[in-house]
Amino acid sequence: MLSNASSSLRHIQAKQYFDGQAWHKDWVLTWGKDRWVNLGPGVSHGSSVDTTVPYLIPALVDLQIYGAGGSLLSVEPSAQTVEKIAQYCRAGGAAWFQPTVATNSLAVFKAAMEAVRTYQNNGGKGCLGLHLEGPWIHPEKRGAHSLAFIHSPTATEVREILALGKGVVTMITLAPEVVEPALVAEIMAAGMVVSAGHSQASYQEATRAFDAGVPAATHLYNAMSGLQHRAPGMVGAIMDHYSVKSSIVPDGYHVDWAAIRIAHKAMGPRLFAITDAVTETQEGPYPHQFFQDRYESNGILSGSALTMLKALKNLHQKVGLSLTEAIGMCSTYPAQLVPPPEQAFLALDDQLNFVELFC
């Protein structure tokens, strides 16, 4: 613990501080040598305060982002690409992120694992682990994913991924109806979060998977069987379940604002935001092109241009959620699914613009 007498300490007063559950007025964050030292009630004036900010909240968490700065992780699987993603996330208020590789070859997955491992082993900040989205998904719900790589796994393949990804892979998106339940259980037993997505599962199939322990679903509404009055599908199963969480992409293109509001009314803290952000690239099976504030691949919506801070503002200003719930969806709710190793803080101005990230 650093001494309060240290001249390197900064004292940042927040007019309002949100701890993930409740708001507090006039709290002070003491910061020094790239780490926070103390957080507690403070005074509204005095020589000990170096900076005053309107809002201090838990730093944001992005559990699905594919690349940044012109480098897609699947095309340039290196620690340098992970660092570009980290910089993009920090500039958008997210201290923690989970780089993601969409359906691809085993060789690409291996290279992405090694990139994340190298980044983490060399002191890279903020990377929670690698998210493998596919290839064990339903071909009819592939979205922009390449059909050439989609398949149901063998036990041998699953165990190879588990061995290669130990300590690095934190999440796998799969369609539960195309993977044997015993193999799904084996993945979860290895400590990786299974997220149901790109799935044609019926309401009954999805509910069985959730009841068996699958804790999450990937980008609600997108690339999954929809809610129909006689066939509730995976969307209905997610909304109706007592515990399963789901990500959603609040950019106004992936999902209508009203659909997000409806889902939030049904799910509350089980719903959280991701950026699903990609970057412009012409290489590999996913040549993303920027188009009107989003990305397309081969003419299909393939990713967003969101930051997590933009997602928060959209949830509050366009969906109409309270600031408390918007913050929860972008920070504390995803952190419950993939917990960060330590607390970090984000300071915002009166208009919810980025001021500073403390992590």
Give 245: exposed, middle or buried? Use CB within 10 Å, 0-12, 13-18, 19+: buried
- List of residues 6+ apart from 39 with CB closer than 8 A: 17, 27, 28, 29, 30, 345
The CA-atom distances, in angstroms, between 225 and each of 138, 203, 352 are 10, 8, 35
The partner residues of 22 in beta bridges, in order of sequence, read none
Is 132 in contact with 171 (CB distance < 8 Å)? yes
Question: Which member of 19, 50, 251, 276 is catalytic?
Answer: 276
DSSP structural state of residue 256:
-
End-to-end CA distance of the chain: 16
The partner residues of 130 in beta bridges, in order of sequence, read 169
**Phi and psi torsions of 301, nearest 5°:** -55, 125
Is 63 in contact with 334 (CB distance < 8 Å)? yes
- List of residues 6+ apart from 66 with CB closer than 8 A: 72, 73, 74, 99, 100, 101, 102, 276, 277, 278, 279, 303
Q: Which residue has the tokens 């005095």?
A: 46
Is 34 considered catalytic here? no
Distance CA 265, CA 140 (A): 29
Identity at 322, one-letter amino acid code: S
Classify the C-alpha dihedral 289-294-298-302 as positive or negative: positive
- Looking at the annotation, which residues are catalytic? 276
